[in-house]
Amino acid sequence: MTRLIYGAAGALCITFANLSGAQEVCFKDAKTNFETWKAQNSKVLNDLAAQYNASKDPSKEMVTYAGMRMPVAAAIMIEGEKYGREADGKVEVEVNAAKKCSGQTTIPRGVYDLAREWMGVTTILPEQATRIDFEELRRGNIAGGENSVIRETGRAIDKVVNPFRWKW
């Protein structure tokens, strides 16, 4: 009987995979990783763009790029093409990592979402109030994230109860 229930739950999770794929922490991590990469790798392109915008005639103003003298317009086109290819590759890597991360908790998330819908909890409470990020739980963060309501309430209570710990 237990196997039948788990099998049915697994089949429903596969059927309703779109409900179980939303693990916010996985995609936040992917976005943060890409933003970090972007900040580290866009300096040359940003510098060339600033020179291009400041130039009266970017097709005639020369710069040294990759050890060669060339017009700013040519350098920005070459660097833009290179940066675009690298950014596309990095986005693909981060999206695949986020999908793999969120896939680790697909079954429990699907069972929870299905139970939440069947019990009608989402008709009484807003969806955000009943959402659980199972990836946060898998990582051992049962309080719901650094700025969760549980943690903020705990900090507020601790400030009142133990005022000497906190710097005012």
Above 60 in pLDDT, residue 18? Answer: no
Above pLDDT 70, what percent of the chain? 69
Convert the pLDDT of each residue in 107-166 to its tens digit.
877 788 788 788 877 777 777 677 777 676 666 666 656 666 666 777 777 777 776 665
- Average pLDDT of the residues of the chain: 77
Above 90 in pLDDT, residue 104? Answer: no
Q: What pLDDT is stored for residue 28 in this prediction?
A: 87
Q: What pLDDT is stored for residue 142 in this prediction?
A: 64
Convert the pLDDT of each residue in 142-153 to its tens digit.
665 666 666 677
Rounded CA gap, 100 and 92, in Å? 12
Above 50 in pLDDT, residue 20? Answer: no
Above 70 in pLDDT, residue 14? Answer: no
Question: How would you write the chain as a 3-class SS string?
Answer: CHHHHHHHHHHHHHHCHHHHCCCHHHHHHHHHHHHHHHHHHCHHHHHHHHHHHHCCCCCCCEEEECCEEEEHHHHHHHHHHHHHHHHHHHHHHHHHHHHHHHHCCHHHHHHHHHHHHHCCHHHHCCHHHHCCCHHHHHCCCCCCCCCCHHHHHHHHHHHHHCCCCCCC
The mean per-residue pLDDT over the stretch 35-39 comes to: 94
Above 50 in pLDDT, residue 22? Answer: no
